[in-house]
């Protein structure tokens, strides 16, 4: 873990990028201070009749470019400081993708696996009742995150409608299709990450069959990227979840892995033919060992701070795709840079999710819904265009892709700050 708090660690990247881009000082000042934070207590009546109180947070980081956008996560380690860091990254991510949003984030400090389905629904609806005045289609639009999903988003949208006494599908994204969700949202994060890999592969002449991949985190995003890479011919040789990891030099049958994981909630090396699944040979390893495997592409797709100063020097992957938010600490950046490891940063690599959330919001507000093919084509076009902009800036400034992504985000945020007026305007220099 970084010695800094998550938010202070995230802000260190502002200091680094300030040396390579000419941005109004006021832009940096604005980004150092979240606009608003809310902490609430959410009571939950358990199935046995007992009452338990959970702490929840929601952070509005910045709204220069539009209403706040960001996920709601359920995890025992949710803290206000973590939410501030995640909201900051969302501000930058939306600017990189040139979306009309600012950054927001939130969550409940809870282990959702300890709750029954009815308890999970009651907690989700209770959260919305507590924060209803803090969210809205033009104020802050939550979405799924760690251990939340489209069903939970559907409950939240429904509860918000009860609170405000009107139908407001645009208040929440990542909903079920039947409740106004968008085609292509469920695999959007993975598909956006895949576009980044495909673009880099084209530039570097990679041959998928000769390219090895390790994926740390096998939830929705991890499974999605595994499926897309497998279909393209890449060799997935290691995957991990919260219980550990499995490794096979020959690679895995990815559809069978996904089937077994989703049906048993266990990560087992299997080959499935029809409904029959048989165990196959694989090595059990730790997630720490997975991160240090000698692979071409490493994909952290779980939580923050898994690559730190403690293990960065041991990373052997040639390319890292940050499908999780903040998997590499700011302290570890220099170590990876010196080792010549290419990092496709989270604010670009996993931006497919928020991009299709934007498309869902647009569809909800217009009442015009798009086909899956149209959504995916729009996503691929936008991801490809912004990836090229980041690559061009990295080459022009001779900086890393992370610094280039932040530089692009800050350039756009700086333009918004100048549009509302900075010191140069008010002292007559502009």
Question: pLDDT tens-digit profile of 257-273?
Answer: 898 888 877 787 776 66
User: With 70 as the cut, is the pLDDT of residue 405 above it?
Assistant: yes
Domain presence at residue 267: yes
Q: Determine the Cα–Cα distance for residues 225 and 191; give it in Å rounded to an integer.
A: 7
Domain contains 355: no
**Do 163 and 195 fall within a single domain?**
no
Please tell me the pTM assigned to this model: 0.92
- C-alpha Rg value of the chain to the nearest Å: 21
CATH number for the domain including 195? Answer: 3.40.50.720
Claim to verify: residue 213 and residue 256 sit in the same structural domain? yes
Among residues 317, 334, 349, the one where a domain terminates is: 349
Establish if 21 belongs to a structural domain: no
pLDDT above 70 for 274 = no
Count: domains in the chain: 2
Contact present, 177 and 206 (Cβ < 8 Å): no
* pLDDT value, residue 190: 97
Mean pLDDT calculated for residue range 27-46 = 95
Catalytic residue chosen out of the listed positions 69, 93, 105, 261: 105
pLDDT higher than 60, residue 238 = yes
Q: Both 76 and 149 in a single domain?
A: yes
Alpha carbon distance 400, 202 (integer Å): 19
81-90 pLDDT per residue, tens: 999 999 999 9
In the residue annotation, 105 being an active-site residue is answered as yes
Q: Are residues 98 and 167 in the same domain?
A: yes
Domain that holds residue 119: 34-172
pLDDT tens, residue by residue, 301-310: 998 899 999 9
Token pair in block for residue 254: 């990815």
Domain edge (last residue) among 172, 198, 220? 172
14 part of a folded domain: no
Q: Are residues 131 and 196 in the same domain?
A: no
pLDDT at 276: 60
| 197 alpha carbon, distance to own chain's centre | 16
Residue 95 falls within a domain, yes or no? yes
- Identify the pLDDT of residue 430: 63
Do 140 and 69 share a domain, yes or no? yes
In sequence order, what are the residues at sequence separation of 6 or more whose Cβ sits closer than 8 angstroms to the Cβ of residue 370?
A: 182, 183, 359, 363, 378
Whether 12 and 4 have beta carbons less than 8 Å apart is answered as: yes
**CATH at residue 123:** 3.40.50.10860
Mind listing the pLDDT tens digit for each residue in 289-301?
999 999 999 999 9
Please compute the mean of the pLDDT values over residues 39-67 and round it to a whole number: 97
Average pLDDT score over the chain: 93
Q: Does 388 reside within a domain?
A: no
Give the mean model confidence (pLDDT) for residues 344-350: 97
Looking at the structure, do residues 210 and 344 belong to the same domain, yes or no?
yes
Q: Are residues 90 and 228 in the same domain?
A: no
Are residue 123 and residue 226 in the same domain, yes or no? Answer: no
CA distance 60 to 71: 12
Position 384 confidence tier, pLDDT thresholds 50, 70, 90: very high
Q: Residue 429: pLDDT band by 50, 70, 90 thresholds?
A: low
Q: What is the pLDDT of residues 183-203, one digit of tens each?
A: 999 999 999 999 999 999 999
Residue 1: the pLDDT is 39
pLDDT above 90 for 27: no
Do 333 and 251 have their domain in common?
Answer: yes
Q: What is the mean pLDDT of residues 379-385?
A: 98
pLDDT at residue 393 in the model: 95
What is the percent of the chain where pLDDT is above 90? 80
Phi/psi at 125 (5° precision): -70, -35
Does residue 358 fall inside a structural domain? no
40 φ, ψ (degrees, to nearest 5): -135, 160
Regarding whether 215 and 138 lie in a shared domain, the answer is no
SS (H, E, C) the chain: CCCCCHHHHHHHHHHHHCCCCCCCHHHHHHHCCCCEEEEEEEEEECCCCCEEEEEEEEEEEECCCCCEEEEEEEECCCCHHHHHHHHHHHHHHHHHCCCCCEEEEEEEECCHHHCCHHHHHHHHHHHHHHHHHHCECCCEEEEECCCCCHHHHHHHHHHHHHHHCCCCHHHCCCCCHHHCCCCCCCCHHHHHHHHHHHHHHHHHCCCHHHCEEEEECCCHHHHHHHHHHHHCCCEEEEEEECCEEEECCCCCCHHHHHHHHHHHCCCCCEEEECCEEEECCCEEECHHHHHCCCCCEEEECCCCCCECCCCHHHCCCCEEECCCCCCECHHHHHHHHHCCCEEECHHHHCCHHHHHHHHHHHHHHHCCCCCHHHHHHHHHHHHHHHHHHHHHHHHHHCCCHHHHHHHHHHHHHHHHHHHHCCHHHHCCCC
* Per-residue pLDDT at 268: 75
Higher-pLDDT residue of 131 and 277 is 131
Q: Tell me: do 195 and 342 sit in the same domain.
A: yes
Domain-terminating residue out of 293, 314, 349: 349
Does 386 score more than 80 pLDDT?
yes
pLDDT at 278: 66
pLDDT of residue 20: 80
9 band by pLDDT with thresholds 50, 70 and 90: confident
- CA dihedral for 78, 79, 83, 85, sign (positive or negative): negative
The band of 2, judged by pLDDT with boundaries at 50, 70 and 90, is very low
The answer to whether position 409 is within a domain reads no
Name the residue with higher pLDDT: 430 or 411: 411
**pLDDT tier at 311 (50, 70, 90 boundaries)?**
very high
């Amino acid at each position: 873990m970084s010695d800094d708090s998550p938010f202070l660690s995230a802000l260190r990247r502002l200091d680094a990028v300030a040396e390579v881009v000419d941005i109004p000082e006021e832009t940096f000042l604005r980004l150092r201070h979240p606009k608003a934070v809310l902490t609430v207590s959410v009571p939950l009546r358990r199935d046995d009749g007992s009452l338990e109180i959970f702490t929840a947070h929601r952070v509005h980081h910045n709204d220069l470019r539009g209403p706040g956008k960001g996920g709601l996560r359920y995890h025992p380690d949710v803290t206000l400081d973590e939410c501030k860091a995640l909201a900051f990254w969302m501000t930058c991510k939306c600017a990189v993708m040139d979306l009309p949003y600012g950054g927001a984030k939130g969550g409940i400090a809870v282990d959702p696996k300890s709750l029954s389905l009815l308890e999970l629904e009651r907690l989700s609806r209770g959260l919305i009742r507590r924060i209803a005045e803090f969210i809205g289609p033009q104020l802050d639009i939550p979405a799924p995150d760690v251990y939340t999903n489209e069903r939970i988003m559907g409950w939240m949208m429904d509860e918000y409608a009860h609170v405000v006494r009107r139908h407001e599908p645009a208040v929440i994204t990542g909903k079920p299709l039947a409740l106004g969700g968008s085609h292509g949202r469920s695999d959007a994060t993975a598909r956006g990450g895949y576009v980044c890999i495909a673009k880099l592969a084209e530039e570097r002449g990679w041959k998928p069959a000769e390219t090895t991949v390790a994926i740390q985190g096998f939830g929705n995003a991890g499974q999605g990227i595994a499926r897309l890479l497998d279909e393209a011919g890449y060799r997935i040789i290691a995957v991990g979840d919260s219980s550990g990891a499995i490794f096979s030099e020959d690679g895995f049958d990815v559809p069978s892995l996904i089937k077994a994981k989703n049906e048993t909630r266990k990560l087992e090396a299997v080959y499935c033919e029809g409904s029959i699944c048989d165990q196959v040979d694989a090595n059990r390893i730790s997630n720490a060992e997975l991160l240090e495997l000698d692979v071409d592409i490493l994909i952290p797709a779980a939580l923050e701070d898994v690559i730190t100063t403690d293990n960065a020097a041991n990373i052997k992957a040639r390319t890292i795709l940050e499908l999780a938010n903040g998997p590499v600490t700011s302290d570890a950046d220099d170590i990876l840079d010196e080792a010549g490891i290419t990092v496709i940063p989270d604010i670009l690599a996993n931006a497919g999710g928020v991009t299709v959330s934007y498309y869902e919001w647009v569809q909800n507000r217009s009442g015009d819904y798009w086909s899956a093919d149209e959504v995916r084509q729009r996503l691929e076009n936008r991801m490809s265009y912004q990836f090229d902009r980041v690559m061009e800036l990295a080459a022009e400034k001779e900086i890393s892709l992370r610094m280039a992504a932040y530089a692009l985000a800050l350039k756009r945020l700086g333009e918004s700050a100048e549009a509302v007026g900075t010191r140069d305007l008010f002292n007559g220099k502009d």
